[in-house]
Amino acid sequence: MTTEVQVQGLGEFGRRGFTLEHLGCEVVLLLHAGELVSRFYQTGATEKSLQVECAKHLVMKHGWDGCL
């Protein structure tokens, strides 16, 4: 379940099907429509790093043009 803090960290991408899930106590998984996009250590996951990975995924896998 994605919390309000996680939604804020994902920004607009949270409304585009991206979610975060905890894997144990150290790792956070970034998912898009249930598909694994990236893994982060909780201590290194920043709002910017999450959103960069979201944008890269949309461009590479879905041909996104960058417009929110």
Q: So what's the pLDDT on residue 66? A: 79
- Say if CB 64 and CB 55 are below 8 A apart: yes
Each domain of the chain, given as residue ranges in start order, spans: 4-62
Exposure string over 13-28, b if 16+ CB within 10 A, otherwise e: bbeeebbbeeeeeeeb
DSSP the chain: ---HHHHHHHGGGGGGTEEEEEETTTEEEEEETTEEEEEEETTT--HHHHHHHHHHHHHHHH---S--
Q: So what's the pLDDT on residue 53? A: 95
pLDDT digit string, tens, across residues 49-63: 999 999 999 999 998
Q: So what's the pLDDT on residue 61? A: 92
pLDDT digit string, tens, across residues 12-55: 999 899 999 988 899 999 999 999 999 999 888 899 999 999 99
User: Looking at the predicted structure, is the pLDDT value of residue 1 above 60?
Assistant: no
